[in-house]
Structure 1
Amino acid sequence: MWLLGFSTTNPGKLWVIPAIIMVIFFTVMLRKFAVYLEAQARAVAVASNGETQTDLEKGGQDHIISRTKCSMWCTEGVIRTYALEELKMATRDFRIQIGFGATSFVYLAELGDGRFGAVKRVMEEKGGSRKIFLDEVSVLLRISHPNLVGLLGFCLDKGEQLLLLEYIPNKSLFDRMHTYYGQSQGTLSWSNRLSIALDIARALEYLHLIADPPIIHRDVKSSNILLIDNNHAKLADFGLCKLGYETFAPQTPTTIKGSFGYADTNYLKTGIVSPKSDVYSFGVLLLELITGLKSTQGSVTLAEWTEDCRKNDDSGVWGQLLDPKLKGEVDLEQLKVLVDIANSALVENCEGRPDISSIVDRISSCMELQSHDELG
């Protein structure tokens, strides 16, 4: 007797039959899955081009996931859409939480071949609307810089809103400086802190001056800065970003976005956001790196807490600002530069603040001078 071309009188060869069946089964399933992914990508592209009435249109934001680009990303495997089941499997059903935000949780994802990702699960019940999610996707699809956390893919499936992001293993700058676990890893040196500040300044320079259209981050803070290692960092979390440099209409206090301690005081008063709002937040970040303190001290912001000392004409007084954990191992000329940058970034009149490019130049220059001195 014969079955699928194999004689049943020779049972040693019958194992080939289920193998053939399995190959056929997986081939059919893979083809169906490829069709599903293509349909998802096409749906996102159509929505972005305004061909159907979707949440993208209702949001009123300038979304630009074109059909051509989306197809290219999905084909090349750079950025693609994911089915919910794929990301549930990669995260082991959202088992290992590695972070959280006001509207989201972040989970570790195993992508295979020793690669990992971070899945940001935006929760509508926490205020993470579809519009905010799509705004963030739109921003992430536009940007690419070594000091910005990159997008690997996204999922809009069965009511879930998921971003698959680049995984940065060493947690946030906030964790490193202000938690027991982070401090148990040792103190960030002065040179570490300068290098991290320069990386974030370069990230903002890219967003403000190179991205097209320009992007205002609106939530620069230590918990949104992820550490590659002690010397290098990436800026994350683009859910509050604004596209373009046009003057945004004043907003009511209930719609003001950002984090207390970092938020631009001019923005808080007027509701008008600009690139100089990010510069203000960066000034607070510099104070955090200098002092080792959090952005708020009780009900007082760090900018207010340090004002008398940092504005003192006697540069010797600035030493009182220093994080005691540094044990005085600081280059005083560099300290002077950073305090001066912080003071100029924190002025009330946003027009009087420096642009981020001049800040990048000043930090780079003072770091190069130290390198020359050490070589000499």
Structure 2
Amino acid sequence: MAIAYIKKKMDSRFWWPILFALTMASPGALSQSTDALGFLSIDCGIEPGSSYVDPLTNISYVSDASFIDTGVNRNISGDSLSPKLRTLRAFPNGTRNCYTIRSPVVARGSKYLLRALFLYGNYDGLDGQPLAFDLHFGVNYWDSVSVTDSTFFYVKETIMVATARYFSVCLVNTGTGTPFISRIDLRPLKDSLYPTANKRRSLVLFNRWNLGMESGYIWYPADPLDRFWGSWSFPGWNYVSTNSTVRNLPQDLFEVPSVVMQTAVTPINSSSILITWDPLPGAVNQFFPILHISEILDLAGTNQSRQFNIYMNGIHWLGDIMTPKYLYSDAVYSLLPFPSSPTYNISLEALSNSTLPPILNAFELYVTMSNTSVPSDAGDVDAMTVIKEWYRIQRNWMGDPCSPSAFVWDGLNCTYSLSNSPRVTALNLSSSGLTGEITKSVASFSALQYLDLSYNNLTGQIPNELANLSSLKLLDLTGNQLNGSVPSNLLEMAQNGLLTLRLDGNPHLCNNGTSCNVMPAPKKKKISTPVIVILCIVPVLILLAVTIIVWKVSKTQGLRKGSSVDPHNGFPKQTNNVLQLENHQFTYMELQNITNNFQKILGKGGFGFVFHGHLEDGIQVAVKMLSQSSSQGTKEFLAEAQHLTRVHHRNLVSFIGYCNEVNHLALVYEFMSQGTLQDHLRGRANNARALTWRQRLHIAIDAAQGLEYLHKGCKPPLVHRDVKSGNILLSETLEAKIADFGLSKAFLSETNSHISTLVVGTPGYLDPEYCNTFQLSEKSDVYSYGVVLLELITGLPPIVPGIENVHLTQWVLQRLDKGNIEDVVDPRLEGEYDINCVWKCVDIALKCTAQRSQQRSNMTEVAMQLKESLELENSHYNSGNNQNLYSKISNVSLNSAEIFEPKVR
């Protein structure tokens, strides 16, 4: 067997041919940003306004000065690779520095190949010191650049779809040296190419090889798409080639050039080719391999044949036998990532009756780009761009204004939610040296609450459009040179108490008087003596009545105040500031009426009983009463009440009110008529029918969104600490909501975990790392959620009953080792599911339940992946097609059924 092992980093000698060619370009006349090919090629660090044309490729290169306004140009040392490859741009200041590429170069919805190149060349004389930084595409992490060889040309490449009329390439200082960049290449692609790249997923190149080529490199013009194809040699391979043209199939999805497909490898003294690689350390990788295969030997009229199967990690990737087409370029790929694994391998194995071994012409390997961050509202981004250009602001305003939150622009406050893009809520440009008029673009911030333009040199009138900012609470225009009258709508908002309006220090601005076309104030009328008497007496009577009412209310509620402990039952007497709840407060007698004297019990937990009730308007509620013998105790009970008052999300139980009397503590929240998810999975629900796979997917997504809100949307965030199927409640429509916040803990960030000597939670769901280290973080909830997801898939409890009572994760892994997903899925589903979707969900669950918390996904990633899984299931449901994940697609056209399966082209 010919085994080739992939390394992420290539030998620096691998790059010498391309380095030589890249340095042969000569300066020329100034050219447009895009050349006749539609390429944008940016040479970083050359003089502003300059450009040149590469005589070998006819590609035009332009200066980067119009794409960024920070950084410094630097020259590479004279003993570097070539005297003509001697510039770069370095960024010694600022944490994030971004190149912005805009329309007309970028078209929204179009697909591109984007490449960033880095050649250190010891430009700063610090060779040998650690140098590493991060590269972001827009708001998302793209890759890391770690320089270990000053003569090595590092290349980072992604295939992506532009979701706006612009995008950013950002270099992020991670504290290990000064970020720099040498070149940026943008190449347009047909929308049909690389179908795994879409608006929701960008692909990051792991590596791309032209097999059968002994050395060298292929790019434009040999490849019209200007992809870099490198050689890959391996002792166990035999090189074969042809001079005949290898054609692309109709509607080809990759358009590999003939020069690449004209060479190939076959195994020496073996019947199989095995390629293996490991995931990157500490990364959550989703791999997308692409095999390019063509028969380049004419087997017609001979007794020879070439047939083989393709396996991925020992699992049949293609259900059909692969018989390469003569001089036609086919591809084997998948639109779904392969399940995570400690190591990966692809095996091409000849059939026993095949006279020739397998053949492989080229190989591409991609990983998914992390897309956990959400870009800011497009309207806010456009407005901030106009403001930046209008006032020529020189702050470090680059990339997305609000996202990620760690890089929010100076002077901005943003609000973040799970369902919407970040919004600009405050803009502070005080004392920023602004001149000219107030741009009307400021009125485009529909969520803006605070606008501070004070102490600048702004002139002209105040735009009437500012009154359209319905959320505006403060407008500070103090200390400018504004003139004319204040818009009447702004004055009216200020007079009604809706807006704080500050206008001092504008000598030419007036907000009253006829000279500014403002209506004069009406003349005062004389008030008669009887009216004066009435006006004096009525307020006194009102004040007296209010005083009496307050005294009576205070008297009736006096038992609820104070901080002492009642000696009869041990319940604390709550002070006003201990439990500050905004929801409705019920008396114990009201709870008796609501529950019909606590007649119907819904359930029982460590806290006590939960009773069913009806409010006066008929709304059904659940009343959780804390018993005096509660194992959870008053502390946890009140903690749940506190948390419920400040968490508001459709996938968290809604808090209606509470009872806080001396002998009775109770919480009242919405009634979930379908009980717990656990009851449905264990067959204890009133409905005897098992949940369908689509219903389970929706429940999984609902629960994931609820946890995502707790981790990201709450201020401060919350760790639930007891995520389990018994704490996921279902409504009449089977909408899932997370309940029971009594064990929740607040935390500040992923790095600020809580340390406790007491591990709390439910056996089977407990994070093993939390049990060992006592360090609590959001990843503890992720682990518990992964167990719940496995429950949804298998229908089994977290501890599978049997001789050894094995944990559910181990039970699943043992069966997956046999390669049959059907052995894992709940048999009550009776095969009514899309197998692609189930594979993906199992992969998500196993990532959540990884032993080390760093290897687990976060809930944002989980929710996103589950929504993609639902799309697979919906497509299967709508088409009624249940083709296997590992089957062969024989037709050429791309249809809705095949986009979810491994492909042969």
CA distance in 1, matches of 2:837, 2:706: 21
Q: For 1:266, what is the secondary structure of its paired residue?
A: helix
Instruction: Give the TM-score normalised by structure 1.
Output: 0.77
* SS of 2:755 mapped into structure 1: coil
Deviations 1:238-272 (A, max 9, x none): 11111124321231xxx321111111111112222
Q: Which residue of 2 aligns with 1:83?
A: 587
Q: Of the candidates 744, 757, 764, which is equivalent to residue 241 of structure 1?
A: 744
Give me the whole-angstrom Cα distance separating, in 2, the residues matched to 1:368 and 1:216. 29
Tell me: CA distance 1:301–1:366, structure 2 relative to 1, closer, same or farther (3 Å). Answer: same
What CA distance in whole angstroms lies between the structure 2 residues aligned with 1:210 and 1:235?
Answer: 15
Which structure has the higher relative contact order (CA within 8 Å, separation 6+)? 1
Corresponding letter in the other structure for 2:771 = L
Inter-CA distance 41–278: structure 2 relative to 1 (3 Å threshold): farther
Q: Which amino acid aligns with 2:806?
A: V
Aligned counterpart in structure 2 of residue 279 of structure 1, from 774, 782, 790: 782
Q: Does 1:306 align with 2:824?
A: no
Q: Is the 8 A contact 2:770 2:776 kept in 1?
A: yes
The answer to whether the 8 A contact 1:261-1:301 is kept is: yes
Matched residue SS, 1:127:
coil
Identity percentage over the alignment? Answer: 33
More strand by share: 2
Relative to structure 1, is the Cα distance of residues 318 and 371 closer, same or farther in structure 2, using a 3 angstrom cutoff?
closer
Task: Please say if residues 793 and 825 of structure 2, whose CA atoms lie closer than 8 Å, have aligned partners that are also in contact.
Answer: yes
2:711 is paired with a residue of what secondary structure?
helix
The question of 1:118 aligning with 2:622 is answered: yes
C-alpha displacement of 1:42: 9.0
The one-letter amino acid paired with 1:207 is L
Question: How big is the shift at 1:97?
Answer: 0.4
Shift of residue 283 of structure 1? Answer: 0.6
Matches of 2:732 and 2:740, distance apart in 1: 19
Answer yes or no: is 1:177 the counterpart of 2:681. yes
* Map of 2:647 onto structure 1: 143
Structure 1 counterpart of 2:606: 102
Structure 2 match to 1:329:
832
Q: 1:349 is matched with which residue: 823, 837, 852?
A: 852
CA contact (8 A) 1:118 1:164 kept: yes
The answer to whether the 8 Å contact 1:193/1:231 transfers is: no
Instruction: Give the whole-Å Cα distance in 2 for the aligned partners of 1:40 and 1:346.
Output: 50
**By how many angstroms is 1:65 displaced?**
5.5
Q: CA deviation at 1:103?
A: 2.2
Other structure's SS at 2:672 match: coil
Is the Cα–Cα contact under 8 Å of residues 37 and 81 in structure 1 kept in the other structure?
no
Report the alpha carbon displacement of residue 55 of structure 1 after superposing the two structures with TM. 7.3
Larger Rg: 2
The residue that corresponds to 2:903 in the other structure is none
Structure 1 residues 361, 113: CA separation in 2 closer, same or farther (over 3 Å shift)?
Answer: same
Give the structure 1 partner of residue 671 of structure 2. Answer: 167
CA distance 1:306–1:182, shift in 2 (3 Å): farther
Q: What is residue 250 of structure 1 aligned with on the other side? A: 756
Please tell me the root mean square deviation across aligned C-alpha atoms, in Å.
2.8
Which residue number corresponds to residue 553 of structure 2? Answer: 35
| Cα distance in 2, alignment partners of residues 264 and 248 from structure 1 | 14
- Shift of the 37–233 alpha-carbon distance from structure 1 to 2, 3 Å rule, reads farther
Letter in 1 for 2:807: T
Choose which of 309, 322, 338 in structure 1 pairs with 2:841.
Answer: 338
Residue in 2 aligned with 1:292?
Answer: 795
1:351–1:191 distance in 2 versus 1, CA, 3 Å:
same
Q: Does the 8 A contact of 1:64 with 1:138 survive in 2? A: no
Identify which of 768, 772, 778 aligns with 1:269. 772
Opposite residue 353 of structure 1, the aligned amino acid is: R
Residue 158 of structure 1 aligns with which residue? 662
Partners of 1:119 and 1:164 within 8 A in 2:
yes
Superposed displacement of residue 36, structure 1 = 6.3
8 A contact 2:675–2:685 mirrored in 1: no
Q: Is the 8 A contact 2:609 2:624 kept in 1?
A: yes
Q: 1:183 to 1:82 in 2, by over 3 A?
A: closer
Gaps of 5+ in 2: 1-548, 565-571, 880-895, 897-905
1:37 touches 1:83 (CA, 8 Å); kept in 2? no
- 3-state SS of the aligned residue for 1:94? coil
In structure 1, the residue matched to 2:126 is none
Conserved? CA contact 2:613–2:621, under 8 Å: yes
Task: Tell whether the 8 Å contact from 2:561 to 2:573 is kept in structure 1 after alignment.
Answer: no
Letter aligned with residue 327 of structure 1: E
- Residue-by-residue CA offset, 1:285-322 (whole Å, 9 max, x unaligned): 11101111112223432223223224x3x6x4222101
Measure, in 1, the Cα distance between the counterparts of 2:622 and 2:552. Answer: 23
Preserved CA contact (<8 Å) 2:703 2:737:
yes
Read off the aligned partner of 2:738 and give its amino acid letter: L
Check 1:36–1:85 CA distance in 2 against 1; reply closer, same or farther (3 A cut): farther
TM-score by length of 2: 0.33
Amino acid at match of 1:234: K
Tell me whether 1:226 sits opposite 2:729 in the alignment.
yes
Q: Secondary structure at the match of 2:695?
A: helix
State the shift of 1:123 in Å.
Answer: 2.1
Per-residue displacement from partner, 1:100-155 (whole Å, max 9, x unpaired)? 21222100111122211100012231223222121111100110001100111111
Matched position secondary structure for 2:592: helix
For 1:224 and 1:285, how far apart are their aligned partners in 2?
10
Residue type of the alignment partner of 2:602: I
Name which of structure 1's ranges 152-161 and 209-218 shifts more when overlaid on structure 2. Answer: 152-161
* SS, match of residue 126 in structure 1: coil
Amino acid in the other structure paired with 1:102: G
1:181-220 to structure 2, matched below 5 A, reads 181-182=685-686, 184=688, 186-220=689-723
- The residue that corresponds to 1:131 in the other structure is 635
- Separation in structure 2 between the aligned mates of residue 366 and residue 352 of structure 1, nearest angstrom: 21
Are the equivalent residues in 1 in contact too, given 2:607–2:637 (CA < 8 A)?
Answer: no
Q: Which amino acid aligns with 1:294?
A: P
User: Quick one: distance in 2 between partners of 1:128 and 1:233?
Assistant: 24
Q: Distance between the aligned counterparts of 1:33 and 1:169, measured in 2? A: 42
Q: Relative to structure 1, is the Cα distance of residues 65 and 250 closer, same or farther in structure 2, using a 3 angstrom cutoff? A: closer
Q: How many residues align?
A: 317
Residues in 1 aligned to 2:552 and 2:612: alpha-carbon distance in whole angstroms: 25
| Cα pair distance change 1:356/1:38, threshold 3 Å | farther
Q: What is the aligned partner in structure 2 of residue 19 from structure 1?
A: none
For 2:712 and 2:678, the matched residues in 1 are separated by 27
Distance 1:160 1:65 in 2: 14
Q: For structure 1, which runs of at least 5 residues remain unmatched after alignment?
A: 1-30, 48-53, 58-62, 74-78
In structure 2, C-alpha distance between the alignment counterparts of 1:132 and 1:139, rounded to whole Å:
10
1: CA distance between counterparts of 2:585 and 2:643? 16
| One-letter amino acid matched to 1:162 | A
Which residue in 2 is equivalent to 1:22?
Answer: none
Measured after TM superposition, the shift of residue 158 of structure 1 is 3.0
CA distance in 2, matches of 1:134, 1:330: 43
Letter in 1 for 2:755: A
Q: Matches of 1:132 and 1:55 in 2, distance apart? A: 16
